Amino acid sequence: MDPAGSSKKNSYTYEDAQGIAENILARVKSHPKLAIICGSGLGKLADMVEDKEVIPYGDIPGFPVSTVPGHEGKLVFGTLSGKSVVLMQGRFHCYEGYSAQQTTLPVRVFHLMGIKTLFVTNAAGGINRGYNVGDIMVIKDHINLAGFAGVNPLVGPNDTRYGPRFPPMSRAYDLDIRKLALSLAKEMGFGDFIREGVYSALIGPNFETVSECKYLQVVGADATGMSTVPEVLVAKHCGMRVFGLSLITNIVIDEYDAESTANHEEVLQTGEMRSKDLQKLVAAIIQKLDL
Ligand SMILES: O=P(O)(O)O[C@@H]1C[C@H](O)[C@@H](CO)O1
């Protein structure tokens, strides 16, 4: 299947992204400085938004469309904790058939719309044996496993209007917002299920084999998923402040003869179960943030 209705696109010019940004801004009253990408089953974060203005992805020329259950495929503009925001209710993944450049086009569009801070959220499998289903992990770093295999949205000609050819990626996840999130989570009584750890991403769409899980444990990952990393690379390349949360929707299976298997339904159910807590945490962080 060709999800975008056109062939897989491996590059967009600055002007392509600028055209999409202008098209979007012309349709909405608010011009936010903060964007939030909602992970699988986490689209309910948009329930908190007031004075909503909604644009389905299909109405935005040149924008990809969502093909995965739990990703509605809408941009939701409005106010959250008194601040102007835009949420992506649904992200794009390479396993849908999109290139890394297509999955991250929205981040460049956000940059050209004036977004300075990006919140990324995702559903992830717990690799760390101390984690439980329903834990919320503040992302302190990531391992770009797809990058090791050559999948990286920054591959290709570099447009210095976005950023440098060789962007640093240490301190990718903003330390001040991480500290704020951890302390707010404790104040809110979330101490038993708030964590801080390392997110790793494979391409998917299959869940990991047992040996792959064991490998991820050895290399220092605490959680694993199929997204987020490309978005963060592009956001950092164009100078955004980035904060990330993983919801641990399942614990990865690391025993060869275990009978249970990972499945997307469990991922979506855990998203539903923790959605109110995630909403409260995100709202509290945004309230305290200088944008
Ligand atoms: O978009 P995210 O990374 O939250 O979605 C995860 C990875 C797969 O898309 C899906 C598997 O259940 O959830």
Percent of the chain's residues with pLDDT above 70: 98
- 24 phi, psi to nearest 5 deg: -65, -50
246 lines ligand 1 (CB under 6 A): no
The DSSP secondary-structure symbol of 78 reads E
Q: Tell me how far the alpha carbon of residue 143 is from its chain's centroid.
A: 14
Cα separation, 288 vs 291, whole angstroms = 9
267 lines ligand 1 (CB under 6 A): yes
How do residues 232-280 score in pLDDT, each as one tens digit? 999 999 999 999 999 999 999 999 999 888 888 888 888 889 989 999 9
Residues serving a catalytic function are 40, 71, 93, 95-96, 123, 226-227, 250, 264
Helix orientation angle between 229-237 and 100-113, rounded to the nearest 10 degrees: 40
Distance 225 CA to ligand 1 centre (A): 6
Residue (of 239, 226, 242) closest to 168 by Cα position: 239
- Most ligand 1 atoms within 8 A of CB, residue of 93, 119, 202, 229 to mutate: 93
Cα separation, 35 vs 46, whole angstroms = 11
* Tokens linked to 27: 């349709």
How do residues 19-35 score in pLDDT, each as one tens digit? 999 999 999 999 999 99
Give the type of residue at 104: T
- Note the pLDDT of residue 5: 46
- Most ligand 1 atoms within 8 A of CB, residue of 36, 37, 38, 40 to mutate: 40
